[in-house]
Amino acid sequence: MNENELFTENEEARAFAQAIIDTVREPFLVLDQDLRVLAASRSFYQKFKVSRDDTQGRLLYALGDGQWDIPKLHVLLEKIVPEQGEMENYEVEHEFPGIGQRTMCLNARKVFYEKGSHTTILLGIEDVTVQRVLEREKEELSRQKDILLEQKVMLAREFDHRLLNSLQLISSLLSLQSRTTKNPEAAAQLSIAGNRVASLGRVHRRLHVLDHLETVEFKQYASRLCEDLSEALHHEEAKRSIVVEGEDIEIPTVLGIPLGFIVNELVTNSTKYANGKITVRLESAPEGYSLSVFDDGPGLPEGFTPSGHKGLGMKIIQSLVKQIGGEFQIGRGDNDCGARFTILFSTQPPSQPMVNGAGIAAGNGAGIAAGSFLEQPVIVAR
């Protein structure tokens, strides 16, 4: 091969290599062992607003009036790459003239040639400034969210404390008035109202058991709730046995809370009519779950419908059933005795937004308890 052919081949190889470098989307440099620029990609010139004449053949640290004279870059090219032969995802933050503050992710490889007479370094440069800014913004938003959630929890605890104190005060006042009034009918209504307010307070305390939990084992939760109800009814002459049975099922807390209020309403009502036993049963149903409360009392009157009843307790139950997207059914209890109230529900979210259980207690339930019990009975008349 003569000298002209060798020269031609070298020129073709150089052009081919340059064409490959120019196809790289991110800025790319080829450096010799003294860190002089042998070749640069078109994207490098465009990104850093420099020309080929001011770049090729010059020391990297001298480019652009020293814009690449970066301490971390010295460490990368003069220590890490020579010792390890490569480096990936090495980030450098620097103020670059013309383009401003940037975060660059560097990837470097040391290339050894067969004759061993020299080496080159391939340096890929990726601008990750936008990604890092977004990550920092995301972290800041997450931090602010955590602060707001913590403030929300603190406010909720303060609200719960005030609500429970208010319910206890209202219950005590109604109980006192029921004992001092001379009208027997008014005394009975005041006593009913006082018991209902106290019942709401007990349910609300049980809500704290579910704080920060996504699901609740409902049978256990209902058992503890019914234990509270049994203690509250111990003063009655006719003792009632409240039994919770069925499957051990985990359900979403957002369903467990309103179902707890429903159990409270239905069990409280059944204590007025049951001869001795009230049963709460949770079990699987064809399209979800079935929650039933039934007793061994006289049963419901002929023609009774929940929608046609004016009692406040039934209105509360129907409202809660609607909120969880359930179905409310009535019928006879076991062995065709007593009354049975059944709620069919699914653990899938209802089509309409569900009201938070605590909101029911704090808003709907407490508001009704405090203001409307004197106007009408709160039990379901049978």
pTM: 0.48
Tell me the per-residue pLDDT of 355-378, one tens digit each, with 9 for 90 and over. 444 343 333 333 333 333 223 333
Question: DSSP secondary structure string, 197-246?
Answer: HHHHHHHHHHHGGGTT-SEEEHHHHHHHHHHHHHHHTTTSSS--EEEEEE
- Per DSSP, 305 falls in state -
- Tell me, what's the pLDDT at 206? 67
Residue partners of 197: CB distance under 8 A and separation at least 6: 167, 170, 171, 174, 369, 370, 373
Among residues 199, 224, 226, which one has the least CA distance to residue 210?
Answer: 224
Which of 170-184, 259-273, 365-379 is predicted with the least confidence, judged by mean pLDDT?
365-379
- The residue that leads in pLDDT, 208 or 121, is 121
Q: In the chain, what percentage of residues exceed pLDDT 70? A: 77
The tokens for 269 are: 């009502």
User: Is 94 a residue whose pLDDT tops 50?
Assistant: yes
The tokens for 200 are: 């709401």
The secondary structure element, H or E, covering residue 284 is strand 277-285
User: Is 353 a residue whose pLDDT tops 50?
Assistant: no
Tell me the per-residue pLDDT of 206-232, one tens digit each, with 9 for 90 and over. 666 666 677 888 898 889 888 877 776
- Per DSSP, 354 falls in state P
Cα separation, 78 vs 93, whole angstroms: 18
